[in-house]
Every structure is written in structure tokens, then in C-alpha cells.
Copies of this chain bind each other. A is one copy, B any other.
Amino acid sequence: MNRNAFAAASAFAVVAVFSAAVVAQDMRPDRAIKYRQGIMQAQGWQMGVLSRMAKGEIPYNKDQAVRAATFVNELSKMSWEGFVPVSDSGNTKARPDVWKDKAKFDRLAQEMQSETPKLVAAANSGDVAQLRAAVGAVGKACNNCHDDFQKQ
């Protein structure tokens, strides 16, 4: 297979995989945008609870930390299917780069999702210092993606 044929085949494979992944989605961009914003909003709120707890701004409560961390971990898997192609216009802060550099977007998305189980473990440890470190790591992973793919 020469390089052009390989590139064409790869492009086809990417499209095929991507299509399979979204076959049963709601493809209306306005709905998908609200969906992913809803998930992001919820993640942010629960991360806010954990962040203030880690900083001592609100009382430490292990049960609530575990609950919030569990929710963040569950939510971390949900927003991605809301990035239906191509929904970079309308009421969204998503940059076109989400679809133009999908490999990088997916990598950063995966990195964030690899941090959230550690957040659950840190919450379960009952150790505020561990929680603080894990909240920082998840927050950094969120920002790594927002820096490149979210309009400021």
C-alpha cells in the first residue's frame, strides 16, 4: 500500500470508527451542545465542592468527598459523545480544533479520565492531603484540554 492509499484508508477507518461511536446519538447540534455543557457544569460544581474541601474553605466530610469524587468520575465519561460533528458554532465555547485535531482532543480527554479514578481513591483514603493532590491533578487535566480547545 503506498502512502496515499494508506492515508486514504486511515481516513476512512477514522470516519468509520467515529460514525459507529455516534450512530445512536442525538445529532442535533443545539441539543448536543446543551448536553455536553450540562455535564461540564455538573463536573465543575462537584469539583468546586472538592476543591473548597481540600483547601479547608468548607468542613472536610469524607462521605461527601467520596460522593463528589464518584460523581466526577462518572461524569468524566459522559460529555464526549456530545461533541457531535461538527458543533463548533451556536452557543458553545468549543473551538473548531476539537474536530480539526481530534487525536489531541481525545488524548487530553483520556488523560483527564485517567485521573478521576485516583480522585475517588484519594477521597476514600480519608486523607485531606491526598485529596488535595488529586483535586489538583484532575483540575490540571481539565485545564490542559480547556487551554487548547475552549474559547476563553
Point out residues on A near B: beta carbons under 8 Å: 23-26, 31-32, 34-35, 37-42, 45-46, 48-49, 52-53, 58-59, 61, 64-65, 68, 71, 74-75, 77-78, 82
Which 3 residue pairs spanning A and B have beta carbons closest together? A38-B38, A38-B41, A24-B64
User: Once the chains bind, are B26 and A64 in contact (CB under 8 Å)?
Assistant: no
Q: Which of B24, B45, B74, B78 contacts A26 (CB 8 A)?
A: B45
| Chain A interface, >50% SS class | helix
Residues on the B chain within 8 Å of A82, using CB: 45
Name A23's closest neighbour in chain B (CB-CB).
B61
Copies of the chain in the assembly = 2
Residue from the list B24, B38, B68 in contact with A39, Cβ < 8 A: B38
CB within 8 A of A59: which of B23, B45, B53? B23
Q: List chain B residues, Cβ under 8 A from A31.
A: 45, 48
Instruction: Contact check, A78 vs B42: say whether CB atoms are below 8 A apart.
Output: yes
Among B64, B65, B78, the residue within 8 A (CB) of A71 is: B78
Decide yes or no: A49 and B26 within 8 Å by CB, A38-B41, A41-B35 being known contacts.
Answer: yes
Q: Is the CB of A24 within 8 A of B45?
A: no
Query: Do A53 and B39 touch (CB < 8 A)?
Result: no
Q: Given A71-B78, A74-B74, A78-B71, answer yes or no on A34-B45 (Cβ-Cβ < 8 Å).
A: yes
Option from B37, B53, B68 in Cβ contact (under 8 Å) with A38: B37
CB-based contact A41/B34 at 8 Å: yes
**Interchain Cβ contacts under 8 Å between A and B, 12 examples:** A23-B59, A24-B53, A24-B61, A26-B52, A35-B41, A35-B42, A35-B46, A37-B38, A38-B39, A42-B42, A71-B77, A74-B74
